[in-house]
Amino acid sequence: MMIQQQTKTDDGAFYFALAVGGLISAIGIAAALYMEIMGHQVSGMNNQIFWGLPHVFGIFLIVAASGVLNVASIGSVFGKKAYKPRGPLSGLLAIVLLAAGLAIIMLDLGRADRVIIAATHVNLTSVFGWNMILYPVFFGLVGLYIWTLMDRSKNQYSKTVGTAAFIWRLVMTTGTGSIFGFIIARQAYQSAILAPMFIILSFAWGLAIFLVVQEIMYARSKMELHPQLRARMKNLLGVFIGAALYFVAVYHLTNVYYAKQFEFTHFILVSGGVFPLLFWGGFVLLGSVVPLFLLYAPGFSANKGSVTAASYLTVAGGLCLLFVFIIGGQAYPMDMFPGMQVTSSFFDGKIDSYMPSLPEILLSVGGFAIAFTMTLVGVRVLRFMPQDDVAKLQSAGYLHD
Amino acid sequence: MTEPNDKSRRGFLGAAAVGAAGLGVAAIAPGLHLIEVSQASAPGKGASSKVRWGMLIDTTKCASDCNACVKACNSENGISEVLKDPRQASQWIRKIDLKDAKSGITHSLPMMCQHCEHPPCVDVCPTHASMKRADGIVLVDRHTCIGCRYCMLACPYKARSFVHMTLTEQNPEVPRGQGCVESCTFCVHRVDKGQIPACVEACANAEHNAMLFGDLNDPNSAIAQRIAEVKTTQVRADLKLNVGVRYQGI
Ligand code: SF4
Ligand code: SF4
């Protein structure tokens, strides 16, 4: 039986990465404190576009957190052996991404100091209120799940706990999608398709992040991921990217169908300047078509570099999509008086523009750094490295000679 | 930042203690707030569910070049801060000019929180800071608002503003605060003293008389009678929010 062993990571590199990650995280938190003290006047946000870049990054991480757990679910809930050893890392990333995403959103609150009120005064008719319950339970379930995976004596419970976590995460992403789905006021958001769309997006974004982290860990440990395992996972990523593209297309097509939403969709997809650019160039081309090419085109597909590049591009495309969705949805004016031309001192009837300020950018990037730093520490102190028992996988028919 | 210890605040909390939505509010800082609530529950104080405050705006009387209601609101509620980016400034009430794309007919009207009977802002607020009093006035408790701006996303009327900077000169009767969301209160501090909102008063002083304030539930009130007589509109009636502010002439 040949089990690949984790080799000890170089101490110097670890502490250097830790210092860099910690520093960028600290700068992000400092930027948030600056916004808190000065007020959001130092942000690019205003009374029309009041959810800005921090929401784009924060919601991305929260959605990806649920999706990254898919890897573990495929292993223990659906019994796919190749994914089993990846369960703990998948669980760790789920916790880390959710924590980082929530950190960004909370630090961007007008009164971040009152975050405890959010936990003690939960309004259950609010989708945000549900999330106050959904998120902590997710942390608990995934923590428990990692434990059942890593502690051999608890292995027997991993399927049950894993199934619970799997269901919970679908509910959680439904909750995230519903943050927007229940907004009747705005052309962009009220749509039943948002919840399933967010679930599919979470699968693609989560797996992309998993693949990036996995490749980095293998490279740092001077190990090689079995090419057939990589091929399996990259195929899955391709399926998720394709499905995400399909759902986004359906979302826009249904919007075009409803006359009321037509003009808004035209704005987002054709006439809205930066938004169509980010949608077509960012999400569709760089974030979906190019990755699909890298994952499937002969000569590229099996290559480690092309899978990693496809994963990075999927993440970038996801951020572009959320920017268009969140910022574009606010930039377009609400139609209070159909058939009328509207003007006011409060910019009614006007398309707004948004340029993130430096503190917002630092906070957003800082959130990613928080996730990076937590992952770094996590994989250092516990054995999260996926250890493939290649011989066993071969005899089970998962891998071929 | 000033602590709200004025009468209106007590009335507000009294109402909050009555309404289910407000139960959470009363429990934040039990020591302080419960005392206020007990004082406020004296007879005649606090909001009554028999009343539904509302406003009727006659757009045929509203002059396009008049801004009296906006000025009165700003001075009444202490909205005096100046922001570099005007898009970040609070506007509790604003004048909107409309032009019918087909007929070319124009209208001018003030727009503010519509004090919805089914307010989306209250539904989405994670902390119950957005709340509706028993008498229909929708308020933000600026002590429990965490500044998430979810209510701004949910409000169909762009009625809410986020306070983007530290405030210095405040009207002690109208607590506002950096990092919180705020909107028209129907001048609740005046209404609780038996007065009418500052904008309505200013409109009358400017001799336009385009705004009428009163109890929608009282069939003998001027507003209820006018609404029974003339054709009035709710903005975005399709959302079925049963708003408290009605328009005539559009
Ligand atoms: S108009 Fe907007 S802020 Fe006012 S009650 Fe309705 S939803 Fe809330
Ligand atoms: S900004 Fe304040 S009032 Fe508005 S939803 Fe958030 S907590 Fe509630």
pLDDT in tens, B158-215: 999 999 999 988 899 999 999 999 999 999 999 999 999 999 999 999 999 999 999 9
Rounded Cα distance between A401 and B143, Å, is: 66
Token output for B7: 């009468």
Contact A59, A176 (CB under 8 A): yes
Q: Cβ of A47 and B152 within 8 Å?
A: yes
Q: In whole angstroms, how large is the CA radius of gyration of chain A?
A: 22
3-class state of residue B212 by DSSP: strand
Contact A69, A210 (CB under 8 A): no
| Residue the block writes with tokens 């009614």 | A348
Beta strands B53-58 and B245-248 are: parallel
Does any CB of chain B come closer than 8 Å to the CB of residue A11? Answer: no
Query: Could you tell me the distance, in angstroms and rounded to a whole number, from the CA of residue B25 to the centre of ligand 2?
Result: 13
pLDDT of B244 over the 90 cut? yes
Kind and range of the H or E run holding B57 = strand B53-58
Sequence letter at residue B139: L
Burial of A367 by CB count in 10 Å (0-12 exposed, 13-18 middle, 19+ buried)? buried
Q: Which residues of A118-137 are buried (b: 16+ CB within 10 A; e: fewer)?
A: beebbbeebbbbbbbebbee
| Residue the block writes with tokens 């559009």 | B250
Residues of chain B in contact with residue A40, where contact means CB-CB under 8 angstroms, are 88, 162, 164, 179
Residues of chain B in contact with residue A125, where contact means CB-CB under 8 angstroms, are 123-124
CATH 3.30.70.20 domain span(s) along chain B: 43-248
Rounded Cα distance between B12 and B174, Å, is: 11
Rounded Cα distance between A137 and B222, Å, is: 54
Residues B24-80 pLDDT 10s: 333 333 333 333 333 333 334 578 889 999 999 999 999 999 999 999 999 999 999
- Our CA angle for B135, B141, B144, nearest 5°, is 140
Predicted confidence at residue A111, as pLDDT, reads: 96
Predicted confidence at residue A79, as pLDDT, reads: 80
Q: Is B114 in the pocket of ligand 1 (CB under 6 A)?
A: yes
Predicted confidence at residue B38, as pLDDT, reads: 31
Q: Is the whole model's pTM more than 0.95, yes or no? A: no
Query: Could you tell me the distance, in angstroms and rounded to a whole number, from the CA of residue B120 to the centre of ligand 1?
Result: 7
Rounded Cα distance between B39 and A14, Å, is: 61
Predicted confidence at residue A385, as pLDDT, reads: 80
Does any CB of chain B come closer than 8 Å to the CB of residue A199? Answer: no
Q: Cβ of B165 and A348 within 8 Å?
A: no
Q: Which residues have any ligand 2 atom within 6 Å of their CB?
A: B 124-127, 129-130, 140, 145-151, 181
Instruction: Say which DSSP state A44 is in.
Output: S
Q: Kindly list the distances between the CA atom of residue A312 and the CA atoms of A56, A212, A236, A287, A315, in Å, as whole numbers in the listed order.
A: 17, 7, 15, 9, 5
Sequence-distant (6+) residues with CB within 8 A of A278 are A320, A321, A323, A324
Question: Most B CBs within 10 Å: which of A121, A327, A350, as the mutation test of the B interface?
Answer: A121
3-class state of residue A334 by DSSP: coil
Rounded Cα distance between B225 and B215, Å, is: 10
Residues of chain A in contact with residue B101, where contact means CB-CB under 8 angstroms, are 339-341
Give residues 27 to 66 of B whose Cβ lies within 8 Å of A. 27-28
Q: Chain A residue with minimal CA distance to B24?
A: A121
Measured from the alpha carbon of residue B138, the closest ligand is 1
Beta strands B161-162 and B138-140 are: unpaired
Does any CB of chain B come closer than 8 Å to the CB of residue A118? Answer: yes
Contact A101, B108 (CB under 8 A): no
Which CATH code, of 3.40.718.10, 3.30.70.20, 3.40.50.150, 3.40.50.10190, is assigned to B43-248? Answer: 3.30.70.20
Predicted confidence at residue B45, as pLDDT, reads: 55
Q: Cβ of B162 and A50 within 8 Å?
A: yes
Burial of A34 by CB count in 10 Å (0-12 exposed, 13-18 middle, 19+ buried)? middle
Query: Could you tell me the distance, in angstroms and rounded to a whole number, from the CA of residue B241 to the centre of ligand 1?
Result: 9
Predicted confidence at residue A401, as pLDDT, reads: 58
Give residues 60 to 119 of B whose Cβ lies within 8 Å of A. 70, 83-91, 94-102, 107, 111
Question: Cα torsion for B78, B82, B87, B89, to the nearest 10°?
Answer: -20
How many residue contacts between A and B have a Cβ separation below 8 Å? 180
- Residue of A33, A112, A137, A68 lying closest to A371 (CA atoms): A68
Residues B91-139 pLDDT 10s: 999 999 999 989 999 999 999 999 999 999 999 999 999 999 999 999 9
What does each of the 401 residues of chain A score in pLDDT, given as a tens digit?
Answer: 334 444 454 788 899 999 999 999 999 999 999 999 999 999 999 999 999 999 999 999 999 999 999 999 898 888 888 888 899 999 999 999 999 999 999 999 999 999 888 888 899 889 888 888 899 999 999 999 999 988 888 888 888 998 999 999 889 888 888 888 888 888 778 778 888 899 999 999 999 999 999 999 998 888 888 888 899 899 999 999 999 999 999 999 988 877 677 889 999 999 999 999 999 999 999 999 999 999 999 887 778 899 999 999 999 999 999 999 999 999 999 999 998 999 999 999 999 999 999 999 999 999 999 999 999 999 988 888 888 777 777 777 767 65
Sequence-distant (6+) residues with CB within 8 A of A140 are none
Q: Is B116 in the pocket of ligand 1 (CB under 6 A)?
A: yes
